[in-house]
Amino acid sequence: MQEFATIIIDFDSTLVQVESLEDLAALALADADDRTERIQAIADLTNQAMTGTMGFDEALARRIPLLGARRDHLSALVEVLKQKYTPSLLRNEAWFRANSERLYVVSGGFREFIVPVMEPLGFKQEHIFANTFLFDDEGNITGADPTNFLAQDDGKTALLRHLDLPRPRLIIGDGFSDYQLRASGECEQFYALTENIHRAEVVDRADRILTSFDELLM
Protein backbone atom coordinates (compact mmCIF):
# COMPACT_ATOMS: atom_id res chain seq x y z
CA MET A 1 0.00 0.00 0.00
CA GLN A 2 2.95 2.31 0.47
CA GLU A 3 3.14 2.95 -3.28
CA PHE A 4 -0.16 4.89 -3.41
CA ALA A 5 0.05 8.57 -2.53
CA THR A 6 -3.74 8.81 -2.54
CA ILE A 7 -6.28 6.11 -1.65
CA ILE A 8 -9.89 6.88 -2.57
CA ILE A 9 -12.63 4.79 -1.01
CA ASP A 10 -16.30 4.54 -1.91
CA PHE A 11 -18.91 4.70 0.88
CA ASP A 12 -22.07 2.65 0.16
CA SER A 13 -21.49 -1.11 0.24
CA THR A 14 -17.77 -0.40 0.78
CA LEU A 15 -17.20 1.47 4.09
CA VAL A 16 -20.69 0.50 5.25
CA GLN A 17 -22.41 -2.79 4.48
CA VAL A 18 -25.51 -1.27 2.92
CA GLU A 19 -26.78 1.22 0.35
CA SER A 20 -27.63 4.15 2.61
CA LEU A 21 -30.47 5.53 0.47
CA GLU A 22 -32.30 2.23 0.98
CA ASP A 23 -31.89 2.57 4.75
CA LEU A 24 -33.05 6.19 4.56
CA ALA A 25 -36.13 5.06 2.64
CA ALA A 26 -36.82 2.35 5.22
CA LEU A 27 -36.85 5.02 7.95
CA ALA A 28 -38.83 7.59 5.97
CA LEU A 29 -41.40 5.13 4.65
CA ALA A 30 -41.92 3.25 7.93
CA ASP A 31 -45.66 3.95 7.87
CA ALA A 32 -46.27 4.10 4.11
CA ASP A 33 -48.66 1.58 2.55
CA ASP A 34 -46.44 1.19 -0.52
CA ARG A 35 -43.22 0.89 1.53
CA THR A 36 -42.07 -2.46 0.13
CA GLU A 37 -42.64 -1.47 -3.50
CA ARG A 38 -40.85 1.86 -3.10
CA ILE A 39 -37.82 0.41 -1.33
CA GLN A 40 -37.58 -2.27 -4.03
CA ALA A 41 -37.81 0.39 -6.76
CA ILE A 42 -34.96 2.34 -5.09
CA ALA A 43 -32.86 -0.82 -4.84
CA ASP A 44 -33.48 -1.62 -8.52
CA LEU A 45 -32.37 1.88 -9.56
CA THR A 46 -29.24 1.63 -7.38
CA ASN A 47 -28.36 -1.69 -8.98
CA GLN A 48 -28.78 -0.31 -12.47
CA ALA A 49 -26.48 2.60 -11.67
CA MET A 50 -23.88 0.42 -9.92
CA THR A 51 -23.69 -2.06 -12.78
CA GLY A 52 -23.50 0.68 -15.40
CA THR A 53 -26.84 0.09 -17.13
CA MET A 54 -28.25 3.50 -16.08
CA GLY A 55 -26.46 6.83 -15.73
CA PHE A 56 -25.76 7.77 -12.12
CA ASP A 57 -27.43 11.17 -12.55
CA GLU A 58 -30.68 9.64 -13.83
CA ALA A 59 -30.74 6.97 -11.10
CA LEU A 60 -30.23 9.62 -8.40
CA ALA A 61 -32.94 11.91 -9.77
CA ARG A 62 -35.40 9.00 -9.88
CA ARG A 63 -34.57 7.69 -6.39
CA ILE A 64 -34.95 10.90 -4.37
CA PRO A 65 -38.72 11.36 -4.95
CA LEU A 66 -39.24 7.71 -3.90
CA LEU A 67 -37.49 8.31 -0.55
CA GLY A 68 -40.15 10.53 1.01
CA ALA A 69 -37.41 11.66 3.43
CA ARG A 70 -37.06 14.77 5.56
CA ARG A 71 -34.16 16.52 7.31
CA ASP A 72 -35.22 15.02 10.64
CA HIS A 73 -34.72 11.45 9.34
CA LEU A 74 -30.98 12.05 8.87
CA SER A 75 -29.85 11.82 12.50
CA ALA A 76 -31.67 8.49 12.80
CA LEU A 77 -29.97 7.31 9.59
CA VAL A 78 -26.54 8.19 11.03
CA GLU A 79 -27.24 6.00 14.06
CA VAL A 80 -28.37 3.12 11.81
CA LEU A 81 -25.27 3.37 9.60
CA LYS A 82 -22.91 3.43 12.61
CA GLN A 83 -24.20 -0.08 13.36
CA LYS A 84 -23.42 -1.20 9.81
CA TYR A 85 -19.73 -0.40 9.29
CA THR A 86 -17.99 -2.97 7.13
CA PRO A 87 -16.49 -5.45 9.63
CA SER A 88 -12.94 -5.36 8.21
CA LEU A 89 -12.97 -1.55 8.43
CA LEU A 90 -13.54 -1.82 12.17
CA ARG A 91 -10.91 -4.57 12.52
CA ASN A 92 -8.35 -2.29 10.88
CA GLU A 93 -9.42 1.01 12.43
CA ALA A 94 -5.90 1.80 13.67
CA TRP A 95 -4.52 1.56 10.11
CA PHE A 96 -7.24 3.83 8.72
CA ARG A 97 -6.53 6.40 11.45
CA ALA A 98 -2.78 6.27 10.82
CA ASN A 99 -3.28 6.79 7.07
CA SER A 100 -5.93 9.52 7.23
CA GLU A 101 -3.73 12.05 5.40
CA ARG A 102 -3.86 10.06 2.15
CA LEU A 103 -7.36 8.60 2.52
CA TYR A 104 -10.33 10.19 0.77
CA VAL A 105 -13.98 9.20 0.67
CA VAL A 106 -15.61 9.89 -2.69
CA SER A 107 -19.27 8.93 -2.83
CA GLY A 108 -22.41 9.49 -4.81
CA GLY A 109 -24.15 9.43 -1.42
CA PHE A 110 -24.64 12.49 0.76
CA ARG A 111 -22.33 14.52 3.03
CA GLU A 112 -25.15 15.12 5.52
CA PHE A 113 -24.79 11.55 6.79
CA ILE A 114 -21.39 10.36 5.51
CA VAL A 115 -19.40 12.96 7.49
CA PRO A 116 -20.96 12.12 10.89
CA VAL A 117 -20.65 8.37 10.15
CA MET A 118 -16.97 8.46 9.10
CA GLU A 119 -15.47 11.15 11.35
CA PRO A 120 -15.62 8.94 14.48
CA LEU A 121 -13.22 6.53 12.71
CA GLY A 122 -10.66 9.26 12.06
CA PHE A 123 -11.59 10.18 8.49
CA LYS A 124 -10.98 13.88 7.85
CA GLN A 125 -14.07 15.93 7.07
CA GLU A 126 -12.20 17.87 4.38
CA HIS A 127 -11.29 14.56 2.68
CA ILE A 128 -14.93 13.51 2.32
CA PHE A 129 -16.55 14.34 -1.01
CA ALA A 130 -20.21 13.56 -1.62
CA ASN A 131 -23.48 15.05 -2.77
CA THR A 132 -25.51 17.52 -0.74
CA PHE A 133 -29.28 17.47 -0.35
CA LEU A 134 -31.69 20.23 -1.31
CA PHE A 135 -34.59 20.86 1.10
CA ASP A 136 -37.84 22.76 0.84
CA ASP A 137 -39.10 25.14 3.57
CA GLU A 138 -40.74 22.25 5.45
CA GLY A 139 -37.51 20.23 5.59
CA ASN A 140 -38.49 17.72 2.92
CA ILE A 141 -35.60 16.41 0.82
CA THR A 142 -36.36 17.53 -2.72
CA GLY A 143 -33.18 16.68 -4.60
CA ALA A 144 -29.40 16.83 -4.86
CA ASP A 145 -27.45 20.02 -5.51
CA PRO A 146 -27.01 19.79 -9.31
CA THR A 147 -23.86 21.94 -9.28
CA ASN A 148 -21.96 19.21 -7.38
CA PHE A 149 -19.71 17.12 -9.63
CA LEU A 150 -20.96 13.97 -7.91
CA ALA A 151 -24.58 14.53 -8.96
CA GLN A 152 -23.51 14.01 -12.56
CA ASP A 153 -22.85 10.84 -14.57
CA ASP A 154 -19.20 9.81 -14.10
CA GLY A 155 -19.04 12.62 -11.55
CA LYS A 156 -16.26 10.89 -9.60
CA THR A 157 -13.97 11.33 -12.62
CA ALA A 158 -14.88 15.02 -12.95
CA LEU A 159 -14.25 15.59 -9.24
CA LEU A 160 -10.87 13.83 -9.26
CA ARG A 161 -9.77 15.82 -12.30
CA HIS A 162 -10.69 18.97 -10.38
CA LEU A 163 -8.97 17.96 -7.12
CA ASP A 164 -5.70 16.92 -8.78
CA LEU A 165 -4.61 14.79 -5.79
CA PRO A 166 -1.08 13.29 -5.61
CA ARG A 167 -0.37 10.22 -7.77
CA PRO A 168 -0.28 7.29 -7.93
CA ARG A 169 -3.89 6.89 -6.86
CA LEU A 170 -5.88 3.80 -5.87
CA ILE A 171 -9.68 3.56 -5.93
CA ILE A 172 -11.42 0.93 -3.79
CA GLY A 173 -15.13 0.31 -4.26
CA ASP A 174 -17.92 -2.03 -5.25
CA GLY A 175 -19.59 -0.15 -8.09
CA PHE A 176 -19.31 0.85 -11.72
CA SER A 177 -18.73 4.51 -10.80
CA ASP A 178 -15.61 3.39 -8.90
CA TYR A 179 -14.29 1.47 -11.90
CA GLN A 180 -14.87 4.58 -14.03
CA LEU A 181 -12.04 6.33 -12.13
CA ARG A 182 -9.66 3.66 -13.43
CA ALA A 183 -11.12 3.72 -16.95
CA SER A 184 -10.71 7.50 -17.14
CA GLY A 185 -7.10 7.33 -15.95
CA GLU A 186 -7.83 9.37 -12.81
CA CYS A 187 -6.69 6.37 -10.76
CA GLU A 188 -3.84 4.01 -11.61
CA GLN A 189 -5.50 0.98 -9.99
CA PHE A 190 -9.03 -0.20 -9.09
CA TYR A 191 -9.52 -2.75 -6.34
CA ALA A 192 -13.03 -4.22 -6.07
CA LEU A 193 -14.15 -4.88 -2.49
CA THR A 194 -16.47 -7.90 -2.40
CA GLU A 195 -16.98 -8.12 1.38
CA ASN A 196 -20.49 -6.66 1.16
CA ILE A 197 -21.57 -7.25 -2.43
CA HIS A 198 -20.15 -8.99 -5.49
CA ARG A 199 -21.16 -7.29 -8.75
CA ALA A 200 -19.78 -9.39 -11.62
CA GLU A 201 -19.81 -6.45 -14.05
CA VAL A 202 -17.51 -4.57 -11.68
CA VAL A 203 -15.33 -7.38 -10.36
CA ASP A 204 -14.46 -8.46 -13.91
CA ARG A 205 -12.90 -5.03 -14.52
CA ALA A 206 -10.87 -4.85 -11.31
CA ASP A 207 -7.08 -4.92 -11.10
CA ARG A 208 -7.43 -6.82 -7.86
CA ILE A 209 -10.24 -8.29 -5.78
CA LEU A 210 -10.30 -7.65 -2.03
CA THR A 211 -12.58 -9.95 -0.09
CA SER A 212 -11.96 -7.65 2.89
CA PHE A 213 -9.79 -4.66 3.88
CA ASP A 214 -7.51 -7.16 5.65
CA GLU A 215 -6.04 -8.04 2.24
CA LEU A 216 -5.28 -4.40 1.52
CA LEU A 217 -3.01 -4.22 4.54
CA MET A 218 -1.17 -7.52 3.99
Binding interface with Mg ion (CB under 5 A): 10, 12-14, 174-175
Shortest distance, CB of residue 177 to Mg ion, whole angstroms? 8
Shortest distance, CB of residue 13 to Mg ion, whole angstroms? 4
Three-point CA angle 112, 77, 151, nearest 5°: 40
**Among 85, 70, 150, 76, CA closest to 122:** 85
Shortest distance, CB of residue 57 to Mg ion, whole angstroms? 16
Q: Tell how far CA 195 is from the center of its chain.
A: 15
Which CB sits closer to Mg ion, 64 or 70? 64
Which CB sits closer to Mg ion, 51 or 140? 51
Shortest distance, CB of residue 140 to Mg ion, whole angstroms? 26
Determine contact, residues 113/131, Cβ cutoff 8 Å.
Answer: no
| Burial of 2: CB neighbours in 10 Å, binned 0-12, 13-18, 19+ | exposed
Which CB sits closer to Mg ion, 16 or 39? 16
Provide DSSP, 77-130. Answer: HHHHHTT-B-HHHHHTHHHHHHTTTTEEEEEEEEHHHHHHHHGGGT--GGGEEE
Shortest distance, CB of residue 88 to Mg ion, whole angstroms? 15
Which CB sits closer to Mg ion, 12 or 186? 12
Which CB sits closer to Mg ion, 10 or 23? 10
| Burial of 209: CB neighbours in 10 Å, binned 0-12, 13-18, 19+ | middle
